[in-house]
Structure 1
Amino acid sequence: MAEIDVYKDWLGIPEGTRPPDHYTLLRLLQFEDDTEKIRANYRKLNGHVRKYSSGQYVLRSQELLNEMAKAMLCLTDPDGKRDYDRSLGREPLVTDEEEPQTVLEYLIGKNLIKRSQVSEIEYFAEARGLNHRDAVIQMKLVEPVDATRALAVELRLPFVDLEDMLPEDSVLDMIPRRVVKKHSCLPLFEDRGLMLVACVDEPSPALEDEIRIRCGHPIRAVLAVPRAVNQAIAKYYAPGMRDESSTPEMQVEEQSSSKGSKAATAKAEKPKRSTQSKSAPLSADDRKQRTQLSLIGICWATIGTVALLYFVHGQKSFTMDIPIGLVVGAVVAGILKATYWK
């Protein structure tokens, strides 16, 4: 089967540099700054390429979908786009920052809330220990998608719709289930030396360390709606799936740690068994206590024997039963002395 040029045959990109730059790939004007236009083009092309995601082109379509996703996330990340544009020769723009910098200002600018509602939202958030994104969602003032977009603007992180994403299996295998559930995140793919991870909020230092250690790359967080992240975790990390990392270094470390702990346990058990096999001499108090308990046992053995014989023989042989009881008591005393008193 001849190799096809998916850029030309599927996306209509003329022959030229392969792979094309992000703007050409998403059919955008060079240095397009409108994030809504970038996302709209991405969604349109994503839906088109998905038509080829079965049959003989399933792997190639997966690769192209991820390539387009990386391009979209780069161009909708303010800092990432600035660096990428500079690599293409764009001169830095000296302009005043006009984009809203907080969740509430963004939502006001998009006419999603009124400025008169700000004090109510702030009180609601402070009283419940919520950020403004979660507050407006719980108050049912804004849809979760719009609220998360606002938080992405505040944190200067790209926003991602996980319904359009197809995480790479090799990347998912690097992060175990307990980590993604603990941090409410979903690893997506590696891009230019960074590990793209969908998060519900700004990543914690603990998550950054986990990703760096397990994947060998620093994290590049992208923001997603919390419910979408939880649904994706349930889909890609169902119970029993990816319970442990498949990273070779982590497996070696876990195996060596397991072997070391088993050896340490075995060494610790050996002296324990040997000490149990040898009886330590009793202290004076222990000997006294055991003697008192033994005397009680001897008395009950003697009395019990006499009583049993009396019940069987009756009063006529009572004088003969007493010596038998004393003999039984003496035998019990001998046994206890030989075993229990040592």
Structure 2
Amino acid sequence: MAIDVYKQWLGIPEELRPPTHYQLLRLIDFEDDPEKIRAHYKKLNGLVRQYATGDYMLESQDLLNELAKAMLCLTDKSRKRDYDESLGREFGDEKDRGSKPMLRILVAEGEIGKSQISEVEEFADRRGLTHRDAVVQMKLVTPQKAAEALAQELGRPFVDLESTLPDDNVLDQVPRKLVKTHSILPLFVDEDVILVAAMDEPDHELEDEFRLRFGKPMRAVIATPLQINQSIAKYYAPGARDEAIAAQFDSKSVGRGKKSGKSSGKVKAEKPKSEMTDDEKKQNFQLGLIFMCWAVVGSALIDQFLIKPYLFPRWSFFLGLIFIVPPIAFFLLYEKHFKK
């Protein structure tokens, strides 16, 4: 049986179809306070999540995504202005005064004192940290507050990934290697943009990659580093994503990026190679060195104390396995670990 989730869950009357972002989030038209927008979103998100595991699981997931898209649009200054103008709002000719640095934002919000700005800057310079990481490591503010202040400085919306459900179709189109390299999490398509959670402002190379991959520009939203890393581990765990789909999109992107030459036949996706993180490669390299050392030492011991006494007792010194076992061990390790 079909259910009107707008009416039964959110109390939106039938005549308001489709609801605007403001109606969806139960806000007054053209509400400009991002804190109030996020507060309404958080309340409605918790309400809809009650149905996430019942008979209306799919309807719940669709509505959760719709709520998230509305919140991210209305907390994004540039996108909100375009959206408000589409609803008939008129803006004056006031000039954009620009955004304040995140430390000044934290001072204005009463999170840190004005005298602490120089302390944070010195701490960040000494350790090579960003101001966001510095205030967190100094335990002056929470990771979420620091990320919210950075988002305000960059003019980006902040997203709480714990209450946001990414679109599997979007996740499948972005390979694990790209996600881990840039520390990002693709979220979903919102009309003409791809929303991507990031720790900081993305570079142009990443933006070009998403434009080629989806045919749409990406729009970064800011999340805490911990939540992004946890989400990558959750949604890109080994076997969780179909890397063959991402490989197909890689092939298509390469084809679109060529300036000359014609396509010959169908694009055939290559079988994806297993990809290791830098930490995994480092660990494999260290284990490989240890194994090689034991292969050399073990071969020498077997030569001197097992083979020589029984087969070549008159020889003062014997080396045989040492020229056979270590090269074989090196070949096997190279093929299994280092060649990937």
TM-score, scaled relative to structure 1:
0.71
Structure with the higher helix share, 1 or 2: 1
Which residue of structure 1 lines up, in the alignment, with residue 83 of structure 2?
84
Per-residue CA distance 1:120-176 (angstroms, 9 max, x = gap): 111111222222111111211111100111100110000000011000110110101
Which residue of structure 2 lines up, in the alignment, with residue 244 of structure 1?
243
Which residue of structure 1 lines up, in the alignment, with residue 219 of structure 2?
220
Which residue of structure 2 lines up, in the alignment, with residue 71 of structure 1?
70
Which residue of structure 2 lines up, in the alignment, with residue 166 of structure 1?
165
Secondary structure (helix, strand or coil) at the match of 1:246 reads: helix
Secondary structure (helix, strand or coil) at the match of 1:198 reads: strand
Secondary structure (helix, strand or coil) at the match of 1:73 reads: helix
Secondary structure (helix, strand or coil) at the match of 1:115 reads: coil
Contact 1:178/1:243, CA 8 A, preserved across alignment: no
Contact 2:99/2:155, CA 8 A, preserved across alignment: no
Per-residue CA distance 1:40-93 (angstroms, 9 max, x = gap): 100000010111112321111111100000000000111111111111110114
- State the distance in 1 between where 2:244 and 2:39 align: 35
Q: What is the RMSD of the two structures over their aligned residues, measured on CA atoms?
A: 2.1
Query: CA distance change for structure 1 residues 216 and 134 in 2, over 3 Å: closer, same or farther?
Result: same
- State the distance in 1 between where 2:107 and 2:128 align: 22
Aligned counterparts, 1:1-342, within 5 A: 1=1, 3-95=2-94, 101-242=100-241, 244=243, 246-247=245-246, 248-250=248-250, 256=268
The one-letter amino acid of 2:143's match is P
Secondary structure (helix, strand or coil) at the match of 1:221 reads: strand
Which residue of structure 2 lines up, in the alignment, with residue 262 of structure 1?
none
Secondary structure (helix, strand or coil) at the match of 2:234 reads: helix
- State the distance in 2 between where 1:5 and 1:208 align: 37
- State the distance in 2 between where 1:200 and 1:76 align: 17
Which residue of structure 2 lines up, in the alignment, with residue 268 of structure 1?
none
TM-score, scaled relative to structure 2:
0.72
Give the deviation of 1:212 after TM superposition. 1.4
Q: For structure 2, list consecutive stretches of 5 or more residues without a partner in the other structure.
A: 256-266, 272-340
Query: CA distance change for structure 1 residues 116 and 70 in 2, over 3 Å: closer, same or farther?
Result: same
- State the distance in 2 between where 1:140 and 1:20 align: 42
- State the distance in 1 between where 2:232 and 2:127 align: 26
Q: For structure 1, list consecutive stretches of 5 or more residues without a partner in the other structure.
A: 260-342
The one-letter amino acid of 1:30's match is D
Identity of aligned residues (%): 59
Task: Give the paired residue count.
Answer: 258
Give the deviation of 1:250 after TM superposition. 3.2
Contact 1:175/1:245, CA 8 A, preserved across alignment: no
The one-letter amino acid of 1:250's match is D
Computing the radius of gyration from Cα coordinates, the structure with the larger value is: 1
Query: CA distance change for structure 1 residues 54 and 256 in 2, over 3 Å: closer, same or farther?
Result: closer
Secondary structure (helix, strand or coil) at the match of 1:197 reads: strand
Query: CA distance change for structure 1 residues 166 and 258 in 2, over 3 Å: closer, same or farther?
Result: closer
The one-letter amino acid of 1:233's match is I
Secondary structure (helix, strand or coil) at the match of 2:245 reads: coil
The one-letter amino acid of 1:42's match is Y
- State the distance in 2 between where 1:221 and 1:156 align: 10
Contact 1:100/1:109, CA 8 A, preserved across alignment: no
- State the distance in 1 between where 2:269 and 2:3 align: 48
Contact 2:244/2:269, CA 8 A, preserved across alignment: no
